[in-house]
Structure 1
Amino acid sequence: MTAKTYTKLAAAISNGWHSDFTPRRFLNNGHVMTLAGNFLPRHWSLPEPEELLVEVEEPVKGYEAYGPTSILCHCHWQPLDVRRERLTVVLVHGLEGSSDSQYVLGNSTRAWAAGCNVVRMNMRSCGGTDRFSPTIYHSGRSNDVARVVEEILSRQGLQAVAMIGYSMGGNLVLKYAGEYGVDAPSALKAVVGISPLMDLAVSSAALHERQNRFYEKHFLRSMIDRVRRKAELFPEMYLPYYASGKLRRLHSMRDFDEQVVARFGGFANADDYYYSVASSRCASQFSVPTLIVHSLDDPFIRMLPETRQVLIENPHVNFIETHHGGHCAFLAPSAGYDGYWAEKILLGFLLATVPNQVHGS
């Protein structure tokens, strides 16, 4: 971290929610850390969720028979007599994740135990919800986040909401906060991005580097399978493209973004997509307390120097940049807790930021 960053975190350190990150033994390599964070078995304890289906987009013109696009959220509400006053944490997963991703469930368990309401949001089509979404998901769908917030506020009369996003989900929640700026809903009290995909063009290029081809192939296979499912569910929209055989000629995520995301997401090309949806473009407009955690050894998420500088200079942002941590992992030695350092400090940040009466402590 720079001296400037340390200065900004002085109050956080004195309040006790921040601690420096030390990688778990043998995990000081970004790739090893990333894989360990993804595959190590975990345990969590949550009550059965209440399902909430939120309409986020009207039927596509010309394909009205397929109906609107909706997303599925899994909600864990505190008892009715305290629900409105408790902090509600909305969690958004990363690329090809879901509301059942390990880090989503880990954070949910922590927040629930601390007395918070928890809403686990699936992006469009994710978590087995392809049938609810004729349209595709991508890194710019911040309006979906806005719709979820609007829906839970109107249904539950909540007083305080915090957003947590990992990787691509980090870009979504940060873009949402930046687009609203000072006009954000009064109930929005804090935003957190862990390993957020704020600069898409350089991160896409990094994903195609030789050492990262393992990750890229994994994502690409999964995304191509999703287009196949779209073609089965919504043939008039997707079958002509799928049947053309062009998917077999996609060899990188940039190819996918150029040929699929741009085509079906309304962008001119991949560069237009990367530029248009990057939360780094509105980082100076973050106006609620914000925590961003990024690791310098993240295998494929890159942050431009100008983005880093804007975050450091924004008085509303607590920016933590570690030397180790991999992508969304941040596994520390187990010393009095389970060692999931990012989950621990982000909850500490939320509980220190939002008044005590809204999280039951």
Structure 2
Amino acid sequence: MLLHGLEGSSHAHYMGGIADKAFATGWNVVRLNQRNCGGTEQLSRGLYHSGLTDDPLFVIRELVARDGIRDVALAGYSLGGNLALKLAGDLGESASRECLRAVCAVSPTMDLALCVDALERRSNVVYQWNFVRNLKGRMRRKAAAFPGDFSLEPLGRIWSVRAFDEAYTAPYHGFRDAADYYHRASALRVIHGIQVPTLILAAEDDPFVPIAPFRRAEVTGNPNITVVATTHGGHCGYLEHAADGYDGYWAEREIVRFISTQRP
């Protein structure tokens, strides 16, 4: 099961790339849209957030109950990586009962507060602007789909992801404020509980996912977690020279390799 990043969708390039590689290996593949992503605003009255693990867990249970799937691996990018890690941490020893066998996270935003701080650097203004533009557009479409459910009045005051979370994400989901949301939704808070083989790919030159959390004791001290920290790779990039049938998307290749070694 593949989980995309903030304001991404099942149609994102990396979702298609890893899906193709996994399918070619002989696996069933599910590309999961977060609520309202991929043009699905009208399908759910709710909003998604970085720690909403109920949705992927529901889909896993549906696959097990209705399709007879007995082995599930999660692979998430950015926000989706945080979501995958948090779900595994929340489940702890019960992960095996839910048929979750492995987790991979690429550039996961597992310390949300730190990532939002980094996103607010002047050097990241383009990233911030792009996220905010997309979030605002989504709220306008959401309000049109469900008149009266969401006020658009705050949009004129929102120029950062943090401001969006203060105005919409936190109050809608019952968090006290954005800081409370970042704390409770961060996978880092529960990562010590992960009991399934887990691969984390992180880059030292990621512009808004700092490398420091991946070196913390609760991560490095968990024998179930393998962290590969690269000098280069950016945010969910990891491009190499393509050659001999290899398209150069290193992270996608490593995910397939890792999960292949965990199959029963």
When residues 307 and 140 of structure 1 are mapped into structure 2, their CA distance, relative to the original with a 3 A threshold, is: farther
Contact 1:198 1:303 in 2 (8 A): no
Equivalent residue for 1:234, pick from 128, 140, 146: 146
Equivalent residue, structure 2, for 1:340: 249
The amino acid of 2:235's aligned partner reads H
1:302 aligned partner: 210
Distance 1:307 1:139, change over 3 A: farther
Partner of 1:258: 166
Amino acid at match of 1:249: R
Q: Shift of the alpha carbon at 1:237? A: 1.1
Q: Quick check: 2:205–2:232 contact (8 Å CA) kept in 1?
A: yes
Give me the TM-score of the superposition, normalised by structure 1: 0.71
Which residue does the alignment assign to 2:93?
182
Tell me, yes or no, if structure 1 residue 126 matches structure 2 residue 37: yes
Q: Aligned pair in 2 of structure 1 residues 317, 284: CA closer, same or farther (>3 Å)?
A: same
How many residues of Structure 1 are paired with residues of Structure 2 in the alignment?
262
Match 1:214 to one of 105, 109, 126? 126
Distance across 2 between alignment mates of 1:312 and 1:335:
34
2:179 aligns with one of 267, 271, 280 = 271
Partner of 1:286: 194
Q: Secondary structure at the match of 1:191?
A: strand
C-alpha distance in 1, partners of 2:215/2:114? Answer: 12
Partner of residue 114, structure 2: 202
Which of 98, 102, 105 is residue 16 of structure 2 equivalent to?
A: 105
Code of the aligned partner of 2:248: G
Runs (5+) with no aligned partner, structure 1: 1-89, 356-361
Unaligned runs of 5+ in 2: none
Q: 1:58-93, CA deviations, whole angstroms, 9 ceiling, x for partnerless residues?
A: xxxxxxxxxxxxxxxxxxxxxxxxxxxxxxxx0010
For 2:100 and 2:162, how far apart are their aligned partners in 1?
A: 34
Report the counterpart of residue 150 of structure 1 in structure 2: 61
Query: Secondary structure of the residue that 2:93 maps to in structure 1?
Result: helix
**Distance in 2 (alpha carbons) for counterparts of 1:153 and 1:188:** 10
Query: Is 2:7 aligned against 1:96?
Result: yes
Question: For 2:149, what is the secondary structure of its paired residue?
Answer: helix
Partner secondary structure for residue 183 of structure 1 = helix
State, as a whole percentage, how many aligned pairs show the same letter.
Answer: 44
Counterpart secondary structure, 1:115: coil
**Contact between 2:238 and 2:249, CA under 8 Å: does it hold in 1?**
yes
> Shift of residue 301 of structure 1?
1.0
Matching residue's letter, 1:349? F
Over aligned residues, Cα RMSD in angstroms? 1.2
Structure 1 contact 167–328 (Cα < 8 Å) conserved: yes
Query: 1:169-203, CA deviations, whole angstroms, 9 ceiling, x for partnerless residues?
Result: 00111111000001114321100000001000010
Tell me, in whole angstroms, the C-alpha distance in 2 between the residues paired with 1:305 and 1:286: 16
